[in-house]
């Protein structure tokens, strides 16, 4: 059982300043909403201020490597290292954008009296993710996943009057509980075998004594299912299209980026810490051969990207199309993990940073257009390239980047993944992934074709507020700049693969 050693509490508290700030912001949001319930427009402002201060406290975590909240002499609940700092940074950036998105979302605005609830639940998600990316202990991992999930269940069904929202929320709860049930079951089996829930302790047990192999594998796969649900890999992805389509757009965007980032962070930490034997000089991880992780991950990632891309081909709803595309992207990302090397991990971090901007960008523009024309159907995008050139061109850039064509950043992300694969001599896998991008090209470019090559008499006019204009530029700039000048990003990623314990 976990017993916290609270001898050095103040030092341990310092380690979770960002999380404390986020919790305080959550409380502030609730209180502010109760006292000044007419002043809804200050809520996003408070959220952004909270995120800003959390970010300031995340920065010094970068480059450090320490543990917090020890449960025994050598082990602890949390790892504060560059790796977790990197993901916390990504999550904050994504959260800021999502708060900004929410300010101009018609769906969110349609429930004016529940704004406080909305932002405080969002902070619940963020806190869950923050603990998830640092967690060293299966119990903490499970708790943070639950915190993240419970908040997102409510947010997915935020617009109660919309049938679509409610259906999404209900389905989400059903799958979410099923998968977390499976995960909890797996954790309990693992605890039964190894006698611990701490990843480091499990690692040392695996290194020194024999464990019943089949039972062990079952428990690992059950935990993998729980994480796989979060990052929506096939066949644990079924909730994704329905919930992405049904949920309010800012929440869909948030789920597709931030929650996925947290899921990947915990997957990587779980694999690397639980199974690490030693780190070889060439940067390839030496794992304890209880589980052939490479085979498992390659299989799942190929199925995931192929399924995602093929299912996206004939989608007429742009939100649903982006949902399948995000499944496919999870496949590419997992290929980077499957290399099981420092280079592969660097590629994953690069890919994620780029994916954040281009995916949020695509969702934001779809939202702005949906605000006006009340549709996410591709047929309704006919001729938009002529009536709203700025939005259409921006969407085109984001989609081209999602495809992975130069000179956009998406190309660089894929390039580094492929480099890692080729360096690990996984040529066949690289070719399959490459063919997959060809399939992806079709459905992304189809949107461009409809927007720019097909004409219509209908004229749509969308006024872009200065704030939204700035948001689009802030998303466009990295998508384009990282496509040409990516050295700083690569350097940050290279410095962020350091996990506590290595």
Partner 1 sequence: MRELMYLTVILPLFGFLFNGIFGSKIKNEKIIGIIGSSTVGISFLIALGAFFETLGLPVDQRQKIVTLFSWLHIGNLDVSFAYQIDQLSLVMALIVTGVGFVIHVYSIGYMHGDKAFWRFFSYMNLFIFAMMNLVLADNFVLLFLGWEGVGLCSYLLIGFWYDRKFEKSTVADASKKAFIVNRIGDFGFLLGMFLIFMTFGSLNFNQVFSRAVSFNVPEYVFGFIALFLFIGATGKSAQIPLYIWLPDAMAGPTPVSALIHAATMVTAGVYMVARTSIIYASAPSILMVVAIIGTLTAFFAATIGIVQNDIKKVLAYSTVSQLGYMFMAMGVGAFSAGIFHVMTHAFFKALLFLGAGSVIHSMHDDQNIQNYGGLKKYMPATYLTFLAASLAISGIPPFAGFFSKDEILWYSFANGSIIYWIVGAFTAFLTAFYIFRLYILTFEGKERFGHDKHPHESPAVMTVPLIILAVLSVIGGFIGIPSVFSGEHGNQFHNWLAPLFKDADRKLAIYNFHTHFQEILLMSLSVILGLGGIILAAYIYLKKPQIAANTARKFKGIYNLLWNKYFVDEAYDTVVVNPIVTGSRSFLWKIADNKIIDGAVNGAAKLVDILSINIRKLQTGVAQFYALVMMLGLVAALFWIILSL
Positions in the binding site for partner 1 (CB under 8 A)? 171, 174-175, 178-179, 182, 213-214, 217-218, 221-222, 224-225, 234-236, 238-239, 241-242, 289, 291-292, 295-296, 299-300, 307, 310-311, 313-314, 416, 419, 423, 439, 485-487, 490
From CA 139, how far away is CA 267, in angstroms rounded?
15
State the nearest-atom distance from the C-beta of 300 to partner 1, in Å: 7
Q: What dihedral angle (degrees, nearest 10) is formed by the CA atoms of 368, 372, 378, 379?
A: -160
Secondary structure letter of residue 156 according to DSSP? H
Q: Which is nearer to partner 1, 213 or 465 (CB)?
A: 213
Q: Which is nearer to partner 1, 27 or 163 (CB)?
A: 163
Q: H or E stretch including 67?
A: strand 65-70
Q: Which is nearer to partner 1, 364 or 482 (CB)?
A: 482
State the nearest-atom distance from the C-beta of 299 to partner 1, in Å: 6
Please give the sequence-ordered ranges of beta strands (E in DSSP) within 71-147, or none if there are none: 76-81
Q: Which long-range contacts (CB under 8 A, 24 or more apart) does 423-430 make?
A: 423/339, 423/341, 423/343, 424/284, 424/339, 424/340, 424/341, 424/343, 424/344, 426/298, 426/338, 426/339, 429/298, 429/302, 429/335, 429/338
State the nearest-atom distance from the C-beta of 75 to partner 1, in Å: 27
Contact residues for 178 (Cβ-Cβ < 8 A; gap 6+): none
Q: Which is nearer to partner 1, 308 or 383 (CB)?
A: 308
Q: Which is nearer to partner 1, 44 or 226 (CB)?
A: 226
Q: Is the peptide bond before 235 cis (omega within 30 degrees of 0)?
A: yes
Gap between the terminal Cα atoms of the chain: 25
State the nearest-atom distance from the C-beta of 296 to partner 1, in Å: 5
Q: Which is nearer to partner 1, 236 or 285 (CB)?
A: 236
Helix (H, G, I), strand (E, B) or coil at 436: helix
Burial 389-399 (b: 16+ CB within 10 A, else e): eebbbbbbbbb
State the nearest-atom distance from the C-beta of 222 to partner 1, in Å: 7
| Backbone φ/ψ region at 283: left (φ over 0), alpha (ψ -120 to 50), beta | left
State the nearest-atom distance from the C-beta of 137 to partner 1, in Å: 24
State the nearest-atom distance from the C-beta of 159 to partner 1, in Å: 20
Give the residue from 83, 80, 84, 58 showing the smallest Cα distance to 70: 80
Q: Which is nearer to partner 1, 117 or 423 (CB)?
A: 423
State the nearest-atom distance from the C-beta of 126 to partner 1, in Å: 27
- Lookup: tokens for 67: 């543990």
Q: Which is nearer to partner 1, 460 or 481 (CB)?
A: 481
Residue 70 has, within 13 A of its CA and on its CB side, a CA count of 12
């Amino acid at each position: 059982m976990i017993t916290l050693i609270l001898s050095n509490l103040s030092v341990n508290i310092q380690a979770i300043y960002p999380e404390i700030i986020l919790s305080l912001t959550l409380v502030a949001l609730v209180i502010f909403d109760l006292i000044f319930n007419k002043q809804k427009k200050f809520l996003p402002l408070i959220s952004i201020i909270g995120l800003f201060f959390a970010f300031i406290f995340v920065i010094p975590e970068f480059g450090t490597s320490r543990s917090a909240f020890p449960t025994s002499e050598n082990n602890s609940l949390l790892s504060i290292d560059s790796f977790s700092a990197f993901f916390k940074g990504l999550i904050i950036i994504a959260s800021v954008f999502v708060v900004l998105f929410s300010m101009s979302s018609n769906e969110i605005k349609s429930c004016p009296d529940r704004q406080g609830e909305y932002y405080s639940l969002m902070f619940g998600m963020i806190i869950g993710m923050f603990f998830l990316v640092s967690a060293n202990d299966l119990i903490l991992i499970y708790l943070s996943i639950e915190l993240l999930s419970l908040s997102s269940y409510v947010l997915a069904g935020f617009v109660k009057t919309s049938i679509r929202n409610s259906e999404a929320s209900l389905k989400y709860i059903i799958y979410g509980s099923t998968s977390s049930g499976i995960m909890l079951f797996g954790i309990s089996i693992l605890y039964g075998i190894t006698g611990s829930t701490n990843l480091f302790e499990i690692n040392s047990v695996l290194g020194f004594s024999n464990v019943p192999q089949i039972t062990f594998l079952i428990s690992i796969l059950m935990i993998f299912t729980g994480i796989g649900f979060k990052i929506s890999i096939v066949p644990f992805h079924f909730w994704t299209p329905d919930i992405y389509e049904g949920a309010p757009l800012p929440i869909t965007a948030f789920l597709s980026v931030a929650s996925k980032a947290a899921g990947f962070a915990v997957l990587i930490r779980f694999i690397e810490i639980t199974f690490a034997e030693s780190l070889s000089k060439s940067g390839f991880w030496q794992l304890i051969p209880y589980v052939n992780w490479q085979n498992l991950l390659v299989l799942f990632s190929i199925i995931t990207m192929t399924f995602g891309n093929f299912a996206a081909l004939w989608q007429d709803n742009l939100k649903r199309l982006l949902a399948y595309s995000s499944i496919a992207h999870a496949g590419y990302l997992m290929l980077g993990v499957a290399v099981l090397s420092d280079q592969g991990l660097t590629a994953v971090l690069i890919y994620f940073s780029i994916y954040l901007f281009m995916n949020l960008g695509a969702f934001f523009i779809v939202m702005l257009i949906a605000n006006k024309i009340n549709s996410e159907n591709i047929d309704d995008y006919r001729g938009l390239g002529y009536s709203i050139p700025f939005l259409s061109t921006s969407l085109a850039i984001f989609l081209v980047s999602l495809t992975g064509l130069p000179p956009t950043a998406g190309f660089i992300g894929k390039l580094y993944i492929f480099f890692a694969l080729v360096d690990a001599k996984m040529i066949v896998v690289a070719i399959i992934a490459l063919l997959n991008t060809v399939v992806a090209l079709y459905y992304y470019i189809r949107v461009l074709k409809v927007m720019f090559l097909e004409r219509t008499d209908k004229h749509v006019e969308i006024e872009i507020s200065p704030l939204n204009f700035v948001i689009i530029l802030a998303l466009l700039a990295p998508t384009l700049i990282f496509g040409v000048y990516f050295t700083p990003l690569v350097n940050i990623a290279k410095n962020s693969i350091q996990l506590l314990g290595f």
